[in-house]
Structure 1
Amino acid sequence: MERSPLEAIELEMTILSRRLTSISTYKKYGILDHSAYLLLHQIASNGSAGVKALADEFHLDISTISRQASALEQKGYVFRVPDPQDGRAYTLQMTELGAEALKSDTEVRRDKFAQLLQDFNEAEREQLGRLLQKLNDAVFRVM
């Protein structure tokens, strides 16, 4: 029996989600966990950021981002810069150690994806990248 495109997408996304969860649970690539990698990547891409802006970007509670940021700070990957207008607020800036950790993890992750996508030609890789970005944008809009 042939599946409709939506049936195939639903099933394949569910399988992919399960496999990615399994990989992240049982195998660690690099030194950064998922949340640390994304927070550092966001700061590296957009410059220093406040906890509220990061919470908005990732659609997470401020308390969740604050807890993750504290873990990054304890590891020496970021430091707080007080907001001169609001003594309670601060932005996070990446340290050299954080930049090195992000660079190292990015290389490890890209090497892993190169292995996973070795049977894909460059056009297929470009198409997959565009479609994944489009899917991520769609998910973001419904959050």
Structure 2
Amino acid sequence: MQKEKSIDHALRATWQAVAKTYNEQAAKHKSTMAMAMALLYIDVENGTPSTALGPSMGMEATSLSRTLNSMEEKGYIFREKNPEDGRGVFIKLTKLGIEKREISKASVYQFNQAVREHVDPIKISHFFEVTDMINKLICEKLIFKD
């Protein structure tokens, strides 16, 4: 199969282009795509348990830890012990973190608006149907059968 006609190649190449675009935008604000994404996943009011961030973002623990350490150094977040379970930690946004979150939110909105302006709504609907089906096939382990 030619790589240009391979579904996984199209997904990978597109995601790499999206990630590069987001990283370039984030760099303008002394951030990274991973930090911007984390800012969007942290609950503004109550914070988010650190153990819940990785799975919701699809990030490995070591990458998340590195990202959170960097965010803490930049003053975007702080850690607070879980009052109900001393072993747990909540990640909370600082005032600067909330400002950076708004920038991240605006960037995601701008990206989505630009795509929606250039792609027919029916094609976007089909795109989501296809990605949902791919995820379902993967979750149900129907891609590689042992």
**Root-mean-square deviation (CA), in Å?**
3.5
Note if 1:110 corresponds to 2:95.
no
| Pairing 1:22-101 to 2, within 5 Å after superposition | 22-23=20-21, 27-29=24-26, 31=29, 32-44=31-43, 47-57=46-56, 58-61=58-61, 63-84=62-83, 87=86, 89-101=88-100
In structure 2, distance between residues paired with 1:103 and 1:139: 33
CA distance in structure 2 between the partners assigned to 1:131 and 1:123 by the alignment:
12
What is the rounded CA distance, in whole Å, between the counterparts of 1:100 and 1:130 in structure 2? Answer: 34
- Partner residue in 1 for 2:17: 19
> Is the CA contact 2:37–2:104 (under 8 Å) kept in the aligned structure 1?
no
Contact 2:44-2:98 at 8 Å conserved across structures:
no
Structure 1: gaps spanning 5 or more residues: none
Structure 1 residues 127 and 37, CA gap change in structure 2 (3 angstroms)? farther
TM-score (norm 2): 0.66
Task: Please report how far the alpha carbon of residue 50 of structure 1 lies from its aligned counterpart in structure 2 after TM superposition.
Answer: 2.5
- What is the CA–CA distance in structure 2 between the aligned matches of 1:79 and 1:28, rounded to whole Å? 24
Could you tell me how far 1:92 is from its partner in structure 2?
A: 0.7
The one-letter code of the counterpart of 2:37 is: L
1:76 deviates by 1.9
5+ unaligned residues in a row in structure 2: which ranges? 142-146
Q: Distance in 2 between matches of 1:33 and 1:90?
A: 23
Q: For 1:19, give the aligned amino acid.
A: A
> TM-score scaled to structure 1, two decimals?
0.67
The higher relative CO (CA closer than 8 Å, separation ≥ 6) is in: 1
User: Which string of whole-angstrom CA distances, capped at 9 and with x for unpartnered residues, describes residues 16-50 of structure 1?
Assistant: 2443355456x335523111122111113895222
Classify 1:97/1:60 alpha carbon distance in 2 versus 1 (closer, same or farther; 3 Å). same
Cα distance, 1:101 vs structure 2: 1.1
Aligned residues: 136
Given that 2:72 and 2:78 are in contact with CA atoms closer than 8 Å, whether structure 1 keeps it comes out as yes
